[in-house]
Amino acid sequence: MSDFALSLPVSTAPRPWRFPAWSTALLLPALGLVLWLAAARFGWLAPNMLPAPQDVWLTLQDLASSGELAQHALWSMGRVAQGFTTGAGLGLVLGIGMGLWPRFEALLRPSFLAIVQVPVIGWVPLLMLPLGIGETLEIVIVAKAALVPVTLNTRDAIHALPRPLLEVAATFRYGRLQLLRRVVLPATVPPVFTGVRYGLTSCWKALVAVELLASSEGLGYLLVWGRQMFQMDLVIAGVLLIAAIGLIFDTALAAIERRLQRWRPA
Amino acid sequence: MSAALSARGVVRRFQLDRREVVALAGIDLDVAAGEFIAILGASGCGKSTLLRLFAGLDAPDGGEVMHRGERITGPSLARGIVFQEHRLFPWLTVRQNVAAALLNAPGPASEKALTVQALIHLVGLHGFEEAWPHQLSGGMAQRAAIARGLANRPDVLLLDEPFGALDALTRARLQQELRRIWQRERTTTLLVTHDVDEALLLGQRVVVMTPRPGRIACILVLPPDLPRDHANADFARLRTQVLGILDAADPAQASLRTLIPETAA
Amino acid sequence: MSGSLPSRWLGALPPVALLLAWQGAASIGWGDPRLLPPPGSVLVTAWARLADPGLATALGVSLGRCLAGFALGAALGLGFGLLCGLSGAAARLVGPSFHALKNVAVFAWIPLIALWFGMGEEARLAFIAVAVVTPVALNVWEGIAGTPPLLLEVGAAFRFSSWQRLFRIRLPAALPSILTGLQLGLIHAWLATIGAEYFLAKGTGLGGLLIEGRDRFDMALLILGVVLLGGIGMLLNQALWRLAVRLTPWRTTPA
């Protein structure tokens, strides 16, 4: 390699002072909020198009104090939890099976691809007839959303097990348990976890879709209700809540993922 | 002899893990027009940094680097460069890659096409004009990179360990080719290498550099009649002598270096 | 059990078993025949439906809508991704907001879009475009920002101008990633089209057909609709994949 080709020079002119990252990041949302406040204050848009931020805030407070917020959020989270554990658990089993036994993969691959190919939006009306509108439908749909990425990532992680490292382990005469603990798990856990993370994110997105289409409670239903009642503040509050929960899921899992992969080069 | 390239009291510092490293601590060097100079040293001695300063890809913190008496402030088509990694554009064929060097050169397109064809012949790649870089072996890719470096008929050719990543056989063959090309074109050439044999095989003068901080330990003027042959007794004696200089300058690594040839890592 | 069966036939086993179970369940009169008609009769109704010109019209409407929304969203995504990839300041300013917004489940936009754009074609196109922007912008951004610095340095050595750097280094280097983004964007556009037809207008396009099938308990229509939905999605994906292979012949293994 070129000796220091890509390292940073010290003595070129001092770096210009720059706003810290969080402040630039918040600049745009702050600007948006100011515009929103102004639009409401000066009546640029009718309140039924865009209610004032304080109205949305009040609605959120109402939802929180009446317990409705917790109730709907619990419904939604409960469905995600059930669907996700079912889907991810099945995905792990299928992925390990497909990764270890080629004939198992050959058996399930076409059916699996067919299932993958049809999106949530197609499954909902199809399954609605045999399953009816209700909890089962929603959990099946959410489970399918988790199943796909977890299965694929688990299978790929097993396929991608570094053979050269297994050979290194063999030369040190590692036992089965040592092999599992020192080589197989460290190599497979991070990619599998990536699948889990995608799985949980898509569970949340699928849940919103299914709650919009076929549900009578949950955060998605809150949107439907608000829309039917022309309560725009409720709709916006609902969207904010859905976004916030999605963001929290993803940020938390991304942090865990980074920890699992910290030995990798950036 | 007028100096084609010169360095005057060149200093370059880098920040590495919050520590300051002096890559070049006062380098003075003159390269005559038409000369072939090899810069030899272990990794970390600043030899590549010096070459990048001459290329205009980096600027010194102190002192100055000059090309024909003019201060170097940025890259120039008058100075061709070949890197250790071939750095061919993967989305261009061999012909297009060589032609990419001529993008900002004056002259009609037809003339450029002829130049490109001639260069491809010069480096022995005829028949592979339309190949993608990923279809080439390491040696062939490096030949294409050399053709690209020569495309503007540069006044100076800068080679940054161009054969460092190649296998020994290919390296030996390309060294002979480079010598042949230089003998034909007489382009001023600066070759950075960590391979003692390569330096002695190709250079007229060998600049030996030592690390921490990077400076020139000595400059060897090779006898013009030195047989460029590994097996020759004079050649072998010179090699021992150079290794001795390198070891004396860095006793910590002395014994290791003679045992284990430095790799590209 | 089937030690000598070649693996490519192995994959046919589960669907065949499912079909047999379905036929079996139907013939012993398990379940409501309205909800689960025998596979044979589904096939017959589906075939009849396939010949119906109304189906072709519905498909045409959906595809046209999908492509129009895709074009809109892809143009926005390309512009946004280029901006963020090329300008560090833009990336710092809008990047975090973009990453936060991309986490909003795409269907959650529907009520807002319905209120702002009404229930007409504009609303549908706006929704499809929103679904397309994210993957396109993200991949363009990453592709442009991830241009190997070693290659940019070659450009510097040959004194490339900023335009030459953009068109001869950054864009070609990012092209595989850009194409991946467009491929993802097209799939999203197709799904969003169906979604828009569910939520934002009754009775048009393939989505309208699915709703109709659900409301009429027409299992044959539903199955046909779902097969078409998946099949067309696969074809769109294949088409862009082929295009990507042709546009980037230098790659050994196109993604």
State the ipTM, two decimals.
0.76
Contact C168 B76 (CB under 8 A): no
Of C7, C93, C103, the CB nearest to A246: C103
Picking from A18-22, A131-135, B152-156, C90-94, which range would have the lowest pLDDT averaged per residue? A18-22
Burial class (CB in 10 A: 0-12, 13-18, 19+), B170: middle
DSSP state of A11: S
- B53 within domain boundaries: yes
SS (H, E, C) A75-109: HHHHHHHHHHHHHHHHHHHHHHHHHHCHHHHHHHH
- For residue A6, the chain B residues in CB contact (below 8 A) are none
CATH number at residue B197: 3.40.50.300
Choice between B256 and B132, residue whose per-residue pLDDT is larger = B132
What is the residue extent of each domain of chain C? 55-247
| pLDDT at residue number A265 | 58
Band (pLDDT 50/70/90 cuts) for residue A1 is very low
Choice between A4 and B238, residue whose per-residue pLDDT is larger = B238
Residues of B (213-242) whose Cβ lies below 8 Å from C = none
Per-residue pLDDT of B32-74, as tens digits, reads 998 999 999 887 788 888 999 999 888 898 889 999 888 888 8
Query: What CA–CA distance (Å, rounded) separates B63 from B24?
Result: 11
Contact A7 B52 (CB under 8 A): no
Dihedral sign, Cα of residue B82, residue B86, residue B92, residue B96: positive
Neighbours of chain A (3+ CB pairs under 8 A): B, C
Query: What CA–CA distance (Å, rounded) separates C84 from A25?
Result: 13
**Does residue A22 surpass a pLDDT of 50?**
yes
| pLDDT at residue number B254 | 45
Among C158, C164, C165, the residue to mutate for chain B (most B Cβ within 10 A): C158
**Does residue C140 surpass a pLDDT of 90?**
yes
**Does residue B261 surpass a pLDDT of 50?**
no
| pLDDT at residue number A184 | 82
| pLDDT at residue number B158 | 93
Per-residue pLDDT of C204-214, as tens digits, reads 888 888 888 88
Neighbours of chain C (3+ CB pairs under 8 A): A, B
* φ and ψ at residue B228, rounded to 5 degrees: -85, 75
Band (pLDDT 50/70/90 cuts) for residue A205 is confident
Mean predicted confidence (pLDDT) in B122-141: 89
What is the residue extent of each domain of chain A? 51-260
**Does residue B142 surpass a pLDDT of 60?**
yes
Residue B47 and residue B101 in one domain: no
* Cβ partners under 8 Å of residue C201, min gap 6: C119, C120, C124, C208
**Does residue C50 surpass a pLDDT of 90?**
no
Would you say B65 and B28 are in contact if contact means Cβ atoms under 8 Å apart?
A: no
Contact B133 C158 (CB under 8 A): no
Residue B17 and residue B148 in one domain: no
Domain end marker among B118, B153, B188 = B153
- B32 within domain boundaries: yes
Would you say C81 and C138 are in contact if contact means Cβ atoms under 8 Å apart?
A: yes
- State the DSSP H helix or E strand holding residue B216, giving kind and residue range, or none if neither: strand B215-221
Structure tokens belonging to residue B48: 């590549």
Domain with B133, as residue range(s), is: 80-153
- B264 within domain boundaries: no
Residue B40 and residue B99 in one domain: no
For domain A51-260, which architecture applies?
A: Orthogonal Bundle (1.10)
Other C-beta atoms closer than 10 Å to the C-beta of B238 total 19
Query: What CA–CA distance (Å, rounded) separates C161 from B79?
Result: 17
Taking CA atoms, what residue in B is nearest to A12? Answer: B61
Query: What CA–CA distance (Å, rounded) separates B124 from B144?
Result: 9
**Does residue B160 surpass a pLDDT of 50?**
yes
Choice between B76 and A162, residue whose per-residue pLDDT is larger = B76
The answer to whether A227 contacts chain C (CB < 8 Å) is yes
Residue B114 and residue B237 in one domain: no
A183-197 burial: b if 16+ Cβ within 10 Å, else e: bbeebbebbbbbbbb
Domains in chain B: how many in total? 2
Structure tokens belonging to residue C124: 């549908």
The answer to whether A21 contacts chain B (CB < 8 Å) is no
Among B15, B53, B57, B212, the residue to mutate for chain A (most A Cβ within 10 A): B15
Mean predicted confidence (pLDDT) in A12-41: 72
Band (pLDDT 50/70/90 cuts) for residue C190 is very high
Of B13, B15, B43, the CB nearest to A3: B43
**Does residue A12 surpass a pLDDT of 60?**
no
| pLDDT at residue number A20 | 66
Mean predicted confidence (pLDDT) in C26-46: 76
Per-residue pLDDT of C60-92, as tens digits, reads 999 999 999 999 999 999 999 999 999 888 888
Band (pLDDT 50/70/90 cuts) for residue C221 is confident
| pLDDT at residue number A114 | 83
Superfamily of domain C55-247: MetI-like (1.10.3720.10)
Would you say A207 and A76 are in contact if contact means Cβ atoms under 8 Å apart?
A: yes
Residue B39 and residue B51 in one domain: yes
**Does residue C255 surpass a pLDDT of 50?**
no
Choice between A225 and C80, residue whose per-residue pLDDT is larger = C80
Among B86, B88, B91, the residue to mutate for chain C (most C Cβ within 10 A): B91
